[in-house]
Amino acid sequence: MSSFFDKLKQGAAEAGKKAQSTIEVNRLKFQISSKEKEITGIYSRMGECVYHAMQNGTIEEISDQLLLFSEQINQKKAEVQDVENRIRTVQNEKLCPSCSKAATLDTKFCSGCGHHFVGHFSEEEVVDIKVMVVCPVCQVASDKGSSFCAECGHKFEE
């Protein structure tokens, strides 16, 4: 009987996590929607600026303003990309670099294009790799970037 309640408790906990994840994803999607509306507004202001400059014959004079609008759009698009990356993190997904299809973190091949996710590991598979240099005199490994061997004092060449 306690096994049944343990499973019930575990199921409720998983449902709670899933609900929390869904709420977070919806909140992030709302942020994306808001940023996309801001981008649309910038496009509109940019168009009005061009229209008025053409009407007045001053199109050459607005290049700085157009550059500012363009920078604002690029900034907002970068913010949208950051939020989309956070959504993928919440959903434990990664993006295929070949076809941009979302895949779970532990996927080794993309289901859309067959891309092999070399070097893309799940959180459990990530291992810290330390780059070392081997001293030519005593053959002892030292941290890369060291100026001298920690064992024999040999000066490493840059």
pLDDT digits (tens, 9 = 90+) for 24-38: 999 999 999 999 999
Looking at residue 18, its pLDDT comes to 83
pLDDT digits (tens, 9 = 90+) for 131-141: 677 788 877 77
DSSP secondary structure letters along 80-132? HHHHHHHHHHHTTEEE-TTT--EEETT-SB-TTT--B-TT---GGG------E
What's the rounded Cα separation, in Å, for the pair 96 and 3? 41
Mean pLDDT of the chain: 85
pTM of the entire predicted model: 0.62
The two structure tokens encoding residue 95:
């993006």
DSSP-derived 3-state class of residue 133: strand
| Pairwise pLDDT comparison (39 vs 145), residue with the higher score | 39
DSSP state of 157: P
Looking at residue 53, its pLDDT comes to 94
pLDDT digits (tens, 9 = 90+) for 85-94: 899 888 888 8
Are the C-beta atoms of residues 32 and 84 closer than 8 Å to each other?
Answer: yes
| pLDDT, mean of residues 100-105 | 87
Q: How far is CA 129 from CA 112, 143, 152, in A?
A: 31, 11, 24
Residue 119 banded pLDDT, cuts 50, 70, 90: low
What's the rounded Cα separation, in Å, for the pair 30 and 37? 11
DSSP-derived 3-state class of residue 21: helix
Are the C-beta atoms of residues 157 and 146 closer than 8 Å to each other?
Answer: no
Flag whether pLDDT at 17 surpasses 50: yes
pLDDT digits (tens, 9 = 90+) for 41-59: 999 999 999 999 999 988 8
Domain ranges of the chain: 2-91
